[in-house]
């Protein structure tokens, strides 16, 4: 399941949460949480409040990409390739992601 909005109130379209179910026939790893922001150069982590919850402003997370190399189209490219489509591009993809 995916959406074009990270946070509907501000129409943030970066850092989209995505749930991918199935895909074992495509060789996709199950039961994990992948955060591609952690791979970004200079990413210093999320601010955590005293209650242990993420305190980073949603505007900081949702308004602009933390990892500008992590495109959702990279996942779609990987899925297409695993289904036998011979292509090295999908939309604005820059490479198939490794998962």
Q: What is the DSSP letter of 9?
A: T
Q: What pLDDT was estimated at residue 59? A: 57
Cα dihedral sign, 93-96-97-99? positive
What is d(CA 37, CA 65) in angstroms, rounded to the nearest whole number? 8
pTM above 0.85, yes or no: no
Quote the tokens at residue 40.
């970004």
What is d(CA 7, CA 14) in angstroms, rounded to the nearest whole number? 9
16-30 per-position pLDDT tens digit: 777 787 777 777 777
44-88 per-position pLDDT tens digit: 766 777 887 766 665 566 666 778 888 888 888 998 998 899 999
């Amino acid at each position: 399941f995916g959406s074009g909005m990270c946070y509907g109130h501000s129409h943030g379209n970066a850092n989209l949460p995505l749930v991918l179910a199935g895909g074992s026939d495509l060789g996709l790893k199950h039961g994990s949480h992948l955060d591609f922001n952690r791979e970004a150069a200079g990413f210093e982590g999320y601010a955590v409040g005293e209650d242990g919850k993420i305190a980073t402003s949603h505007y900081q997370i949702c308004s602009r990409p933390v990892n500008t190399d992590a495109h959702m189209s990279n996942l779609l490219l990987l899925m297409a390739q695993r289904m036998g489509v011979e292509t090295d591009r999908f939309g604005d993809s820059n490479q198939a992601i490794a998962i």
